């Protein structure tokens, strides 16, 4: 059979893990020879043997390095751990070269030093290579207490006693009510998934160690369809029979219990919210593992900063803050690059509720000039936050259930245009609208406001353009 050049080059790359042992073994032998020679005061290997063996050392190190390079070409490693291994290994190759040159030149002490350094550096290169295949902490893992392999996000375990004191007595923040996700769902991912889909490895480009990443899915699409467990790839693969090829986790790995799988399905079907509280009084916690409330989100720092901090600072908008929104189909658009003012449009994400808006809007508050919440699930709770947006000029609440909460917007200083089409309003809304000093235009089609209410509004704000959806048409004359 004919194989292309590439196939053979890839094959050579795969020999790397075998070839690396040759220079290391030879090196140990050479050092041992030299030590033996020093102790016995005899010239253990003679000059010719030393030259030959030093050449073999260099040649084997070179072969290992070449194979490593082929492996890199094939796999395209990019992470930092790889670069460490590569450069330490190249240093090792250089030291082997030095040893060979020293042997040729018969510089005994330089030869000895080169061998000694090569031994140290070679050991390090070997360790870093091992870390690549077995994980960063491979070498020292046996020393860690068992707890270290708990779900990501548990407090650091290096010094348990004082840590305990601090958390229990000094800081002791009032524990927020645990969310469904943090209490039940994140522990499942942590126990069964994060090993391969987590901070260290992202097999299939999927990571599940934070809530945002769970919802974001992969670059090919979401694995969780909020509200639709049946069509959620993640749930489907977990639910497949164990003997199916695509079953997750892989058959030889620990498997979640049926109750845990069911819990996952319930959570997705209920909207896969990261903020939803624990459903009251149903099944007991599915896992014994005690997870702190923010277990899922703790290890990375991508959780949005506290709203208060952000609102005060108002620095340039960090595009990284938008990434989780964009990943969930919320549209963000910079309308005014000079003033760094943005339009946030939640409409494409139909499952948007108040909690989601509050969580995602808060960090962006100083930059929002237009906000569209039309046709989402918001019911008004988020208007308290919306009312604090300092630059908000246009607000679209059409076809939402925000009517009863409209009072939160009272006296907003810069709001120019307010869309309430299809929002059920009561007569109190007139007073709120009249209180908005900058309001130029309001849409009140299908709000249930009567003619009297509209007349009152026009009386109180004559310049306000009120669009009640009445099909008024231009007069004609012959």
Partner 1 sequence: MSEAHDPSRLELTRRRFFRACAGGVSGALGAAALGNLFARDGYGMPGAPGGGPHFRPKAKRVIYMHMEGAPSQLDLFDHKPELAKYYDVDLPDSIRQGQRLTTMTSGQQRFPCAPSIFEFKRYANQQDGVMLSELIPHTAAIADRLCFVHSMHTDAINHEPAITFFQTGTQQPGRPSFGSWISYGLGSANENLPTFVVLITQGLGNMQALSARFWGSGFLPGEHQGCRMRGSGDPVLYLGDPAGVSRPDRRRMLDLVGALNRREAERSLDPEVETRIAQYEMAYRMQASVPELTDLSDEDEATLELYGPDVRKAGSFAANCLMARRLVERGVRFVQLYMRGWDAHNNLPREIRAQCAAVDQPQAALILDLERRGLLEDTLVLWGGEFGRTVYSQGQLSEANYGRDHHPRCFTIWMAGGGVQPGITFGRTDDFSYNIVEDPVDVHDLHATLLHLLGFDHERLVYRFQGRGMRLTDVFGRVRHELLA
CB of 319 to partner 1, least distance (A): 5
Among 316, 451, 462, 463, binds partner 1 (CB under 8 A): 316
Question: What DSSP element (H or E) covers 335?
Answer: strand 331-336
Sole binder of partner 1 in the list 7, 335, 427, 438 (CB under 8 A): 335
Nearer to partner 1, 251 or 319 (CB): 319
Q: Does 322 bind partner 1 (CB under 8 A)?
A: yes
Q: Is 247 in the site for partner 1 (CB under 8 A)?
A: no
Find the helix or strand (DSSP H, E) in which 162 lies: helix 160-165
What minimum distance in Å lies between the beta carbon of 144 and partner 1? 37
Q: State which of residues 289, 334, 384, 466 lies at the interface with partner 1 (CB under 8 A).
A: 334
Residues 6+ apart with CB under 8 A from 383: 402, 405, 406, 408, 409
Nearest approach in angstroms of CB 449 to partner 1 is: 13
Tell me which residue of 349, 304, 399, 397 sits closest to 408, measured CA to CA: 397
- Dihedral pair phi/psi, residue 108, rounded to 5°: -60, -50
Q: How buried is 113 (Cβ within 10 angstroms: 0-12 exposed, 13-18 middle, 19+ buried)? A: middle
Binding string to partner 1 for residues 352 to 381, with x set by CB under 8 A, is what?
-----------------------x------
Segments of 361-469 assigned E as strands: 368-372, 394-396, 417-419, 441-443, 465-467
169 binds partner 1 (CB under 8 A): no
Shortest distance, CB of residue 421 to partner 1, whole angstroms? 5
Output the six-digit token pair for 424: 């059920």
Nearer to partner 1, 168 or 476 (CB): 476
Q: Using an 8 Å Cβ cutoff, are 435 and 458 in contact?
A: no
Per-residue b or e along 426-445, where b marks 16 or more CB atoms closer than 10 Å to that residue's CB: eeebbebbbebeebeebbbe
Which residues between 382 and 421 bind partner 1 (CB under 8 A)? 396, 398, 417, 419, 421
What is the size of the binding site for partner 1 (CB under 8 A)? 47
Least distance to partner 1, CB of residue 471, Å:
6
Taking CB under 8 A as the criterion, the residue among 2, 169, 246, 282 binding partner 1 is 246
Of positions 164, 220, 253, 410, contacts partner 1 by CB under 8 A: 220
Q: What is the Cα–Cα distance from 289 to 202, expressed in whole angstroms? A: 23
CA pair distance 268, 262, nearest whole angstrom: 10
Q: Check whether the bond before 263 is cis (ω within 30° of 0).
A: no
The binding site for partner 1 (CB under 8 A) comprises 220-221, 231, 233, 236-237, 246, 316, 319, 322-323, 326, 329, 331-338, 340-341, 343, 345, 347-348, 375, 396, 398, 417, 419, 421-422, 441, 443, 445, 467-469, 471, 473-478
């Amino acid at each position: 059979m004919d194989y292309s050049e590439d196939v053979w080059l890839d094959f050579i790359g795969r020999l790397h893990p075998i070839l690396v042992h040759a220079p290391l073994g030879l090196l140990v032998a050479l050092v041992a020879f030299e030590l033996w020679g020093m102790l016995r005061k005899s010239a253990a290997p003679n000059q010719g043997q030393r030259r030959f063996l030093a050449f073999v050392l260099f040649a084997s190190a070179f072969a290992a390095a070449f194979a490593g390079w082929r492996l890199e070409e094939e796999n395209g490693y990019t992470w930092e751990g790889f670069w460490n291994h590569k450069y330490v290994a190249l240093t090792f190759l250089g030291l082997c070269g030095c040893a060979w040159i020293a042997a040729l030149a018969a510089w005994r002490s330089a030869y000895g030093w080169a061998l000694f350094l090569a031994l140290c550096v070679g050991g390090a290169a070997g360790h870093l290579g091992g870390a690549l295949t077995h994980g960063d902490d491979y070498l020292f893992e046996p020393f860690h207490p068992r707890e270290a392999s708990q779900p990501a996000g548990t407090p650091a375990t290096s010094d348990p006693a004082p840590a305990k004191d601090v958390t229990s007595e000094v800081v002791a923040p009032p524990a927020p009510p645990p969310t469904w996700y943090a209490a039940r769902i994140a522990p499942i991912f942590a126990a069964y998934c994060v090993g391969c889909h987590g901070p260290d490895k992202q097999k299939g480009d999927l990571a599940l160690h934070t809530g945002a990443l769970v919802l974001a899915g992969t670059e090919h699409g979401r694995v969780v369809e909020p509200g639709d467990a049946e069509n959620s790839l993640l749930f489907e693969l977990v639910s497949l029979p164990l003997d199916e090829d695509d079953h997750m986790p892989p058959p030889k790995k620990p498997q979640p219990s049926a109750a845990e799988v069911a819990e996952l399905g319930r959570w997705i079907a209920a909207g896969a919210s990261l903020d939803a509280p624990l459903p009251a009084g149903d099944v007991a916690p599915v896992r014994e593992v005690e997870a702190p409330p923010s277990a899922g989100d703790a290890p990375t720092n991508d959780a949005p900063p506290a709203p208060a901090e952000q609102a005060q600072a108002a620095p340039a908008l960090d595009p990284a803050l938008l990434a989780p929104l964009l990943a969930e189909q919320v549209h963000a658009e910079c309308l005014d690059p000079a003033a760094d003012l943005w339009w946030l449009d939640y409409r494409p994400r139909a499952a948007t509720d108040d909690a989601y808006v509050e969580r995602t809007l808060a960090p962006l508050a100083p930059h929002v000039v237009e906000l569209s919440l039309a046709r989402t699930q918001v019911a008004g709770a988020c208007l308290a936050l919306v009312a604090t947006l300092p630059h908000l000029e246009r607000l679209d609440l059409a076809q939402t259930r925000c009517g009863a909460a409209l009072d939160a917007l009272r006296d907003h200083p810069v709001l120019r245009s307010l869309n309430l089409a299809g929002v059920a309003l009561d007569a109190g809304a007139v007073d709120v609208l009249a209180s908005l000093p900058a309001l130029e235009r309001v849409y009140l089609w299908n709000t249930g406001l009567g003619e009297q209410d509209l007349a009152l509004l026009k009386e109180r704000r004559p310049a306000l353009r009120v669009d009640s959806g009445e099909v008024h048409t231009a007069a004609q004359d012959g």
